[in-house]
Amino acid sequence: MRAMELVEGIRREMRARGIHYGELGRAIGVSDSTIKRMLGVSADISLRRLEQICEFLELDISALLETPDRPLAFDQLTSEQEHFLASDIELLRLFYLSMFHSTVDSIVAASGILRSKVVKGLFALQKQGLVELNPRDRVRANRGYLFRWADNGPLSKLSWEKIRNEFLDIEHYKGDFKLYFFKVFLLSPASQRLLRSRFEEIICEAMELAKLDMKFNRKDLSPWGVFLAMRDYIPSFMKHAKEERAWN
């Protein structure tokens, strides 16, 4: 195991979150001098202490080996995994919760599902290669929550159904829209390409922000939906108009 790289990853996380040696030492039950020795140039740290630190930081060990400038990689589920998740909403919920919670008990508390059903569901997800169940009821998702699903696949179709029936249900939404905009534009092919490119940049930036927040601001997160779309479109009340007269 690359001990020094792990120690550097721990120190990087501590700097980003403003965590001092004393705070980390108290969290895992060791003195200031001990934690400084563990995270010093000798990297004198046992696997048990490493696991305790990762639990406190709410990170997997593998995350400590990531470098800040490493490009984002987004996983994609197999066709079999997508069909499996789309066929059972409860299992889909457990899969998503496993990305944010690292123990069976925390998933039970967040899901509102009986513990026996959560354990049974997690075993089913593990059989599909979607999660790993580890000792001491630890749970690890085998996909990051920024995974992509296949175009026109079962999860894509399910997502579109939820977007139409829930996210875009403005009439019954009681909250405050932070941003809402819709307009039909007349655009040249060059402008269409430019606008699409800008939208793709926004999507990448949103994913990068989400990944950083998951690493450094996990205790201050709330779910927000972001929906971007563009396509050729003529409003139904204009469909019978002569195009050259209607748009020029």
Reported as a single tens digit per residue, the pLDDT across 23-50 is: 888 889 998 888 888 887 667 788 888 8
Arithmetic mean of pLDDT over the chain: 81
Give the pLDDT score at 177.
67
Considering only residues 175 and 105, tell me which one the structure prediction assigns the higher pLDDT: 105
Tens-place pLDDT, residues 118-165: 999 999 999 999 999 988 888 988 776 667 778 788 988 888 888 888
Nearest CA among 152, 107, 150, 148 for reference residue 125: 107
Give the pLDDT score at 87.
92
Give the pairing of strands 131-134 and 138-141.
Answer: antiparallel
Alpha-carbon gap, residue 146 to 73, rounded angstroms:
9
Q: Roughly how many angstroms between the first and final C-alpha of the chain, as a whole number?
A: 67
1, pLDDT greater than 50:
no
Class of domain 79-141: mainly alpha
Give the pLDDT score at 175.
75
Mean pLDDT of 192-220: 78
Q: What is the largest CA-CA distance in the chain?
A: 80
pTM for the whole structure? 0.57
Q: Are the C-beta atoms of residues 133 and 139 closer than 8 Å to each other? A: yes
Q: 186: Cβ–Cβ under 8 A, 6 or more apart, which residues?
A: 247
Q: Which residue's entry shows tokens 């995994």?
A: 81
- Residue 189 CB: number of other CB atoms within 10 A? 7
Q: Which residue's entry shows tokens 């700097």?
A: 15
Give bridge partners of residue 140 from the DSSP assignment: 132
For the ranges 57-61, 106-110, 143-147, 164-168, which has the lowest average pLDDT?
143-147
Q: Is residue 48 packed enough to be buried (19+ CB in 10 Å), middle (13-18) or exposed (0-12)? A: exposed
Give bridge partners of residue 131 from the DSSP assignment: 141
For the ranges 7-16, 17-26, 94-103, 211-220, which has the lowest average pLDDT?
211-220
Give the pLDDT score at 70.
45
Mean pLDDT of 78-100: 90
Give the pLDDT score at 71.
44
188, pLDDT greater than 60:
yes
Give the pLDDT score at 44.
78
Give the pLDDT score at 73.
47
* Domain spans, the chain: 3-65, 79-141, 176-237
Give bridge partners of residue 103 from the DSSP assignment: 138
242, pLDDT greater than 70:
no
Mean pLDDT of 91-120: 90
In CATH terms, 3-65 corresponds, of 3.40.250.10, 3.65.10.10, 1.10.260.40, 3.30.300.30, to: 1.10.260.40
